[in-house]
Amino acid sequence: MKMTQAYPHIKDNLEAVRARIASALSHAGRSQQETQLIAVSKKFSEELIREAYLSGQKHFGENYVQEATNKIDKLSDLPLEWHFIGPIQSNKTGQIATKFDWVHSVDRLKIAQRLSQARSASGSSLKICLQVNITEEESKQGCSVADLVELAQSVERLPNLEFRGLMTMPRAKASNQDIVDTFRRLAELKNALNQEGLKLDVLSMGMSDDLEIGIQEGATFVRVGRGIFGNR
């Protein structure tokens, strides 16, 4: 059955976000292929995800395991890449490891080990990023900067995982300069880990309100929900 577009605002919003990404990449002197867009589809229906796919969107991000697995099953006819970007509970690692292509929010060795074990039967590696709590907020997920090197070295040795990079979020209501500092620090940490022998190529940072700053500071993934789907 041929799919037709029933939600034209999705196409318009995607075009607007892609134009912002293209402009930011150009301004930063970076290649147009260096940053990919993750459409954050939590709390939005599979119909809207199909609409985004019709407009050329391939990467989708989800925060809640049960909601996400239901959508992934219903959309299994589409060649999508699914990114888990929310907090990870130990008892959900099996579902995450088997349903998703990427996990951006690994912040403890225990979680990485459980993902590694659960992925073993899939035949392909699970791509992961470590989430770093740059701003050191108690309310925020992420490993500390002080613990990052040890965690990264341990994760790198685990089977069935492909350790690709780092993810962070700035402080809520941060100034532009604070956001710059947070994203720049994440890029510095990636470079430092690579100097230790890792081969990381991903920085997941920048959302609807600050994707331009993320791209300026080297983001390879930006995560946009409201800018595409509207308010939840």
- Please count the structural domains in the chain: 1
User: Is 58 a domain residue?
Assistant: yes
- pLDDT, residue 6, reads 60
Inside any domain, residue 144: yes
Choose among 203, 211, 175: nearest CA to 187: 203
Is residue 88, in this structure, part of any structural domain at all?
A: yes
DSSP 187-198: HHHHHHHHHTT-
**Burial tier of 31 (Cβ tally within 10 Å: 0-12, 13-18, 19+):** exposed
Residue 120 banded pLDDT, cuts 50, 70, 90: confident
- Give dist(CA 206, CA 229) in Å, integer: 17
Element (H, E) at 73: helix 65-74
Distance CA 158, CA 45 (A): 35
Please provide the average confidence, as pLDDT, over all residues in the chain: 95
Residue 4, pLDDT > 70, answer: no
Classify residue 15: in a domain, yes or no: yes
Residue 2 lies in a domain: no
pLDDT at site 1 = 39
Percentages (nearest 5) of helix, strand, coil residues in the chain: 45, 15, 40
Task: Note whether 44 and 229 are within 8 A (CB).
Answer: yes
Local confidence band at 5 (pLDDT 50, 70, 90 cut-offs):
low
Instruction: Please report which helix (H) or strand (E) contains residue 82, including its range.
Output: strand 81-84
Instruction: Indicate whether 1 belongs to any domain.
Output: no
- Hey, CA dihedral for 193, 195, 197, 201, is it positive or negative? positive
pLDDT tens digits, 158-201: 999 999 999 999 998 999 999 999 999 999 999 999 999 999 99
Kindly report, residue by residue over 135-168, the tens digit of the pLDDT.
Answer: 999 888 999 999 999 999 999 999 999 999 999 9
Measured on CA atoms in the order 162, 124, 106, 169, is the torsion positive or negative?
positive
pLDDT > 90 in the chain, percent: 91
Q: Are residues 21 and 1 in contact, defined by beta-carbon separation less than 8 angstroms? A: no
Q: pLDDT class for 204, splitting at 50, 70, 90? A: very high
Residue 3 lies in a domain: no
Contact (CB, 8 A) for 60 and 81 = yes
Under 8 Å between Cβ of 83 and 60: yes
| Amino acid at the residue 117 | Q
- Structural domain containing residue 113: 8-229
What CATH number corresponds to the domain at position 216?
A: 3.20.20.10
